Amino acid sequence: MTTKDEWLRKAREAHGRGDSAAEAAALDALIRADRTNIAALVAMAELKRRLNDERAASSFYRLALATASQAREVHPALHPSLQRAEQYLSDVDNVLADHLFNRLRAAGLDQRTATPRVAEALRLLSGEQPLYQQQPNMFYFPGLAQRAFFDRSEFDWVPEVEASTAAIRDELQALLNDPGEHFSPYVAANPDRPPPNNPLLDKPDWGAAWLWQSGEIVSDMDRLCPQTLATLALAPQPVIPGRAPIALFSRLKPGTHIAPHHGLLNTRLICHLPLVVPDGCGIRVGAETRAWREGELMIFDDSFEHEAWNRGTSDRTVLLFEIWRPDIDANEREQLTTLFAAIDAYGDGH
């Protein structure tokens, strides 16, 4: 039986005498025997490259790089070859993008004339835009549309909520004027858990004044913010004992940056009703960056990577709450409520 080393020797000998067919046969046999052999994959890629078979070369280079990324250790002698592979693939991608967009422009199709989804597909294909998808930290519900932002017009309750903006802002101001301290750090340490690796841990830079927390109205908030609580009742908030609803005034102080992160679930959408928004504030969800506009709800899926910032000179405050995703029906909502309650009950005498 021919060993792996013998196949590699045969391939090298064939290469030395310019016999491409014999070299390809030896490398193919070696790769079939050992699909993780990085040296053989690179050698096959470089053979295909010499034969001007760009697609085959790209395929073998990509497999070599993927195999190397998963290997415990890669022999230093292979590092230059892998660097050449990365450069080759980058060059090929650029040539492909130029070819593709030249052909499309000649056909009258580009990002300006394409539909929004086709335009996004073009950005993804060209590498101009990274691919972002739902990646919740705790629970993933399958089959939901991969949408970062949802339009306000899709929800019939939105106009009535937005109409209460001034009244809610007045209650926020009264809360700020109240002698009690209602804002606390949003990222707070739990003495029974390891502290999160978050630069905003226990800092007031990102503050929260909770209205609903863990499915309960926070003490005294029914007296201080009755209009806000009445407005929240208009939205399809999840009701899960010990977990939801949640709602809060979320405040970012000037110079604060909430680093990119993912939410816990993809079964909900996060709603921001912007109350006080100075210039220089923004949020990115997935590939799209938006600015808040006072009085206009912003609705997004926080299971996508997202970040937010206040580069202004005064505080930015929004009313933050969650709603069920509209593409989860009533029966599924009921079953998910049961499921989440069971998860939360773990450790409580299970």
Identify the segments of the chain with pLDDT beneath 70: 1-2, 192-193, 346-350
Provide the pLDDT for residue 74: 84
Provide the pLDDT for residue 347: 54
Biggest CA pair distance of the chain? 89
Cα–Cα distances (Å) from 163 to 223, 295, 296, in that order, read 21, 8, 9
- Taking the C-alpha atoms of residue 247 and residue 235, their distance in angstroms, rounded to an integer, is 11
Provide the pLDDT for residue 43: 92
Instruction: Render pLDDT for 310-330 as a digit per residue (tens, 0 to 9).
Output: 999 999 999 999 999 999 999
- Taking the C-alpha atoms of residue 38 and residue 36, their distance in angstroms, rounded to an integer, is 6
243 token code pair: 């977990």
Q: Is 295 within 8 Å of 271 (Cβ atoms)?
A: no
Provide the pLDDT for residue 350: 46
Run of H or E residues at 125: helix 116-126
Q: 99 CB contacts (<8 Å, ≥6 apart)?
A: none
171 token code pair: 């209650």
Provide the pLDDT for residue 348: 55
